[in-house]
Amino acid sequence: MNIHPTAIVSQKAKIAEDADIGPYAVIEEDVQIGQGAKIYSHAHILNHTTIGDNCQIHMGAIIGHLPQMRKSVTTQGRLVIGNRNTFREYTTVHRSIEKEQPTMIGDDNYFMGFSHIAHDCQIANRVTVCNGTLVAGHVIIEDNAFISGNVTVHQFCRIGTFAMIGGLARVAKDVPPYMLLKGDSTIWAVNSVGLRRANFSIESRSQIKRAFKTIYKSDLNVKQAIERLKDQGSSPEINHLVEFISNSQRGICTHKKPSLWDRIFLSDPVANRTSISAYKLFRRPKAENK
């Protein structure tokens, strides 16, 4: 086991023999770390944490700390992390409130710098959480979701499989699977690019687009839209979409037609690449020479 001499590692911690522990890392006693783990300098792994194989925990990350809440926590919750997860610089992941139901993180997830996963979250597999994103407690994120930078996710929300959350968005309700969300809890469209990259068939993508129109662009309410989807035929994707919406406790995010301002500054790639100096917007025109 390669442990730097400045690292503080409890003798009671269960660490695989091929793990690599960097300088000034702190690993407490009730910690299990699997094979092939790489713990970088100044990382802190706290009690009641289990980490699977081939995980990377980068500089300054805090894994398994107490839940962040005002009331005192009397029970010792847990954090269980699967295999091949990466936690970049200064990521924070908190353990659960109750021992019986730990904070769970599956396999092959990527958490970028300064992201935060709060207590009692359930993160599935192949999820990407970008820099500065804040995920509150009891949030459920399904497989292959992509959450861009500086996003805030309200507690008890759910984000469906292959959903794409745009940067700086605020998620206050459930995000249905396969959808693209931008701005203030607003569904814009189907995550077509993500579905193509994931090799969804043309037929599956067409079914999801028809479902999107049924849910968001018809005159039906959510309950009526669900019944319409059931009548239109079944597929694994549509069945999961129907089940997700039917089980929503917070309600699903709404859809609105983007305004001209939204299309220019949130969608148009040319506008996003164009730099306009602020002084030019407010500069008075020069008087013509007489």
Q: What is the pLDDT along the chain (290 residues), one digit of tens a residue?
A: 799 999 999 999 999 999 999 999 999 999 999 999 999 999 999 999 999 999 999 999 999 999 999 888 777 899 999 999 999 999 999 999 998 999 999 999 999 999 999 999 999 999 999 999 999 999 999 999 999 999 999 999 999 999 999 999 999 999 999 999 999 999 999 999 999 999 999 999 999 999 999 999 999 999 999 999 998 778 999 999 999 999 999 999 999 776 777 666 666 554 555 555 555 555 666 665 54
Predicted confidence at residue 169, as pLDDT, reads: 97
From 163, 186, 188, select the one nearest 173 (Cα to Cα). Answer: 186
For tokens 């206050």, what's the residue? Answer: 172
Annotated active-site residue 18? The verdict is no
Domain 2-201 has CATH 1.20.140.10: no
> Is residue 60 annotated as a catalytic residue, yes or no?
no
Comparing CA positions, the residue from 206, 182, 194, 193 lying closest to residue 257 is: 182
Determine the 3-state secondary structure of 183 from DSSP.
Answer: coil
- From CA 12, how far away is CA 104, in angstroms rounded? 23
Catalytic residue among 44, 94, 120, 138: 120
Contacts of 170 (CB under 8 A, 6+ apart): 151, 152, 154, 183, 184, 185
Q: Is 240 helix (H, G, I), strand (E, B) or coil?
A: helix
Q: How far apart are CA 221 and CA 239, in angstroms?
A: 18
Catalytic residue among 64, 137, 160, 166: 137
Instruction: Please give the pLDDT value at position 164.
Output: 98
Residue listed under structure tokens 């069945």: 239
According to DSSP H, which parts of 139-259 are helical?
192-197, 202-216, 222-231, 236-246
Token digits of residue 7: 């690292």
Q: Where are the domains of the chain?
A: 2-201
Q: What pTM, to 2 d.p., does this model score?
A: 0.89
Q: What is the DSSP letter of 185?
A: T
Report the SS3 class of residue 57: strand
Tell me how crowded residue 116 is: count the other CB atoms within 10 A of its CB.
Answer: 21
For residue 72, what are the contacts with CB-CB under 8 A and spacing of at least 6? none
Q: Select which of 116, 119, 138, 194 is catalytic.
A: 119
Angle at 15 between CA 12 and CA 21, to 5 degrees: 110
Active site residue 4: no
Q: Alpha-carbon distance 290 to 279, whole Å?
A: 26
